[in-house]
Each structure stands twice: as structure tokens, then as C-alpha cells.
Chain A
Amino acid sequence: MSVELSKHDKQLLDGQHGEGAQMAMRIIVRMADVQEAAELMDVTQAHIDGCGLLSESGLEFAETLAAKGARVSVPTTLNMGPLDLQNWQQYNIDEDFAGKAIRQAKAYTDMECIPTWTCAPYQSYLTPRFGQQIAWGESNAICYANSVLGARTNRYGDYMDICAAITGRVPKCGLHLAENRKGQLLLRLKNIDAAVMQSNEFYVTLGHLTGSLAGDKIPVIEGLGSRASSDQLKAFCAAAASSGAVALFHAIGLTPEANTYEQAFHGGKPERIIDIGFTDLQKARSELSTAEEGSNLDLVVLGCPHFSYDEFRELSSLIEAKIEKGKRLHPNVRFVVISSQTSYALLQRGDFLNRLTAFGIEITLDTCVFHTPMVAEDTKVIMTDSGKCAYYAPGELNVQVAFGSMADCVESSVKGQVCRKDTLWEKS
């Protein structure tokens, strides 16, 4: 062990604050060695990803910490969990699985985490502030917190996040330090049509491409403009942190650490410059789909990451246009939107909910299609507007996936077949 510890760190490590905190501190100290950090530093907020996946080992880890008396020492939000805690009985979920998921949820709330159960924590509660040192898990949230909010977190993997929350300490290294936040690659958008750049699909596609190009480097995007919405940046982050390990990007004139080119590169130069043209985006867009146009559609999944109120509003207006023409969800298609209790509470106060349910949409809260067994075994083709969902679905759900805009998803759900309106993407 080479990391220098404070008096309080040593007390935690000696077990003076209980066995749970001791175990958490042991993991933090071992990770400080892995990351070659000379010392630890404080974080003032945490977001837990480790509560998401249900596995025997993950459950055992959480229950072990909770039983040993561990409690979080900083405000700590929770990522989505493996169960829709209020409505799981609607989904034909195995009782043994549900029982374990409820135990896991309880272990985290016993440790006094805040039951937000969302993978879009930056859109719900306790949004971190610029420059705040935090310990966040969940790849899309890490990317958003660092890049869009200007808070500072490393990519905390499952189970280190809760250890950081308990101890309030992390290895002092990586993206917590200003000097490690400078841009490394320059991605220049060249001659992309304004109509394309305003679409949500563009942000997903560019995110997917950025992740593939950047790997774990810090990309700087030039030419993105300054109008992106929170939901568009959410979609970008989710895609970039799936095809790559992007924990931080800068977009000149858009993100807070990149008001200028000089600021984005800390006065230095990029290691590499890559130009991105329309054909690169067309290629990235087609990579996101494995299902053929015209395939019979089984399931539409929206809300990866969790749907915001504004996305519900957009969906609702698309649905309204269908309902006015007397159209409904095709009988062979299931349409699932995943969201948080926080967005749902807003939805209940607005006017859209009846319209969505009348069309046949199911709204699932607190969880995600990858972590709760709600997708039927015989599901073959799914459609989504999410780059992250499109990236992981073939492996995790063993399905063919079609990526399209939200409007494409709605249209396909009425037809019962994958159909995309390509007008935006056909121009050269």
C-alpha cells in the first residue's frame, strides 16, 4: 500500500467506524493503488450504479455492507434497479427474482441512499454543480455529469461507487484533477445539413461515432452549435459511453469547460484531428441496426436512459396524430417506455398520460429492460430511439434491433413492421 492516508482514513481502515465502513475503505485503498493515486480526496455526492444488476454476488455484497452497519456519508442517489418496485406483478416476473431484487433495494436504502431509482439522475434530483467533486456510477450519467454539468467524477464501476459514498473518499486522480480534463482528440463536423443537426437521431448517431473514434480519450467536438437540449445531450452521452469509454467530452461553445478552442485543449493541441462528414454519420446510423427494414416488430423500447417529461410530451404529440387518424398500436407489438418516479409524478400532473395509455403504451418505472426480466423469451425484433439500447440489445436480450427516431418507432408500432422515414438521411 503506497497511498498516503489521513487520520480519518486510517480510522475507517482500522474499523473504528464499523466493519462496513472498514470494508468499503479497504476497497477504496486497494483501488488507489491500482490507479496509482498518492492520496485520497473528498467527494460530496455519489450516484450508485451497483444497485442495478441483480446477481447473487451483487446482492451478497450490498447485504454484507448493510449488515455490517455501513451508511452513506454523503447524499447518494440510486440508479435504476432490477425491478419496477410498485408494478412488477404486472410483468410475469419470477417471484424468486422479485424477492431478491426487493432485498437488494432494501440493502441500499438501509444504507440511507435516496430511492431515486433512475439512470438519468442529472434530470431528477440533487443535480451536481459545476466543479463539484462527486463519485458517480452509470456510464451515461458519468459522461453527462463531467461534460454537460462540469462536475468531476471518474468512471466508478459497480461496488466502488457505494464504497465512495460510505467513506466519502476516492483516489485523487483522473478526471477529479483539472489537468486531466483537457481535450485529446478534435472531431470536426463538416458540412452537416442544419435539419440533420437539429434531429434527435443526429445526437445518438454522433454519440455512437464519437465513442467508436475516441475509445477512452477525451474528444472535443467542433461545429455542434449551442442549442442542444438536455435530452439530446443525454442521448449523445449514452451512445458515446456504450460504443466507447467516453467519460468526458467537450463541445466548443456548448459545454462549460469549452467556451473556446483554447480552453478545451488547455492552450495545447489535439493529439489527432478527425473530420466527420455526412457519410460518416450515415454509416454510424446504419451500424446501430441489425434488423432489416420491414421485419415484423415485437417490441418498442423508449427511455434508455430514462424518459424525461419533455420526451413524454414529444411522444404524446406523435401519438395524438395517430389517434386522430383512428390508428392504434398494432396488436402484435408491445410498446414500453421506461422512466423514473420523478418524471412520472410530473406526467400525472400533466395532460398526456391518458392519451399514452389509450394508445396502448406501458410505462415502467425504476428499472430497465436489461435489468428486469420483462422482455418475453420469444421477442425477436425490437425497435428503439436509443443508441445505448441499440448497442446492447443484441447481446443482452438476444434480439435483432432497429434504431430509428421516436416518430419512426411510433409509425412502426402502428404498422407492426420496422419502417423508417429516411428522407433526412438520404441526401448526400
Chain B
Amino acid sequence: MGKVLIGKPVVPGSAEGAALVSKEPLSFWGGISPQTGEVIDRRHDLSGAIVTGKVFVLPTGKGSSTSSATLLESIRTGVAPAAIINLSVDPILALGSIVADELYHQTIPIVVLSEEDFLSIRQDDNLVIKPDGKVLVNEQRDK
């Protein structure tokens, strides 16, 4: 059964993809390869996973202030996640997406959900992100 979660659109946009759920925060720089989309932080629970095309459900970013650059470059190379869902606003990730818009007219949506909604998302759930911040979980499309 599907459901609709009401989120806050940090960087508004539309996207769809399977959920890649991370339990831990991640620094994108040192954490994701902008060439391959692989999670390369060998201490992270998702080490080895590929973020490309996924809706990356990540509590928050952390660490390096170069993470916005890594997100921007991964949007340019086409290996970025389809969208990011966070538990709190991470300005550094939002920035990467906004600069991608300025430079390439291309963004990935970023949505913040409440803790309850955030924790309700399971690995590989089908997620549809709407520009108003709604997240459709395992819903039929275009209803």
C-alpha cells in the first residue's frame, strides 16, 4: 500500500527512484565518487553501494565543505542520486544542487521529512518526489 509523506522542499523539483536508505550521515567529499557514484567511505554502512538514480535517504551530510563540489560534479557527470531526502536541512548539499542549476540548468530535488516519516522509508521503496515537497511512497504513478 502506498502513502504520501508531506516534506519540505529545500531544493524544489521532481524525481523518481528507488530508496537507498542510509542510517548514518555521510560526507559527499570522501564519501561518494563523482566519477562512478559509488559510496567510497569505507567506514560507512553503505560502502560500495551506488547512489546513481536512487533517491538517497540520508539523515544529513557531514564533514567536508567540499561536499557541495562533489554533488555538483556528480550532477555534471550524471552519476548523482535522483533526489536526496534528509532529516534536517543541510545547506552544503542544497548548495551543490543550486550551483548545478546556475551552471547547467539542472538540479536534483532535496526534501526534508519529519523523523517519523523519514524512518518509515524502507530500502528499495519506490519514491516519487513532487516540487511541493510531497513524497509518494510505493504509489501508482499519475493518479
Contact = CB atoms under 8 A, between A and B. Distances in A.
Nearest to B100: A57
A87 interface: no
Contacts of B92: 155, 157
B64 A31 contact: no
A156 B34 contact: no
A391 B30 contact: yes
B66 A395 contact: no
Contact of A158 (B10, B41, B60, B68): B68
Contacts of B65: 49, 137-139, 142, 155-158, 161
**Contact residues of A: prevailing secondary structure:** helix
A244 interface: yes
B98 A58 contact: no
B34 to A, nearest CB: 7
A26 B64 CA distance: 24
Interface size class of A (residues with CB under 8 A): 35 or more
B103 A160 contact: no
B113 to A, nearest CB: 16
A183 to B, nearest CB: 19
Interface stretch (B15-23, B69-77, B118-126, B128-136): B69-77
Interface in A14-66: 23, 26-27, 30-31, 34-36, 49-50, 52-53, 55-58, 60-61, 64
Given A27-B102, A161-B65, 6 more contacts: A34-B95, A55-B76, A58-B69, A142-B65, A154-B91, A157-B69
Interface residues of B, number: 41
18 contacts: A23-B102, A27-B99, A30-B98, A35-B89, A57-B75, A57-B76, A58-B73, A139-B64, A154-B91, A157-B96, A158-B65, A158-B67, A158-B68, A160-B95, A244-B25, A245-B63, A394-B42, A396-B30
A157 B95 contact: yes
Query: Lowest 7 CB-CB distances: which A-B pairs, in order?
Result: A157-B68, A157-B92, A158-B69, A395-B40, A55-B73, A392-B30, A245-B62
Given A55-B69, A157-B68, A395 B31 contact: yes
A159 B99 contact: yes
Contacts of B104: 57
Contact of B73 (A34, A57, A287, A396): A57
A253 interface: no
Contacts of A36: 89
A241 interface: yes
B141 interface: no
A216 interface: yes
B59 to A, nearest CB: 8
A159 B69 contact: yes
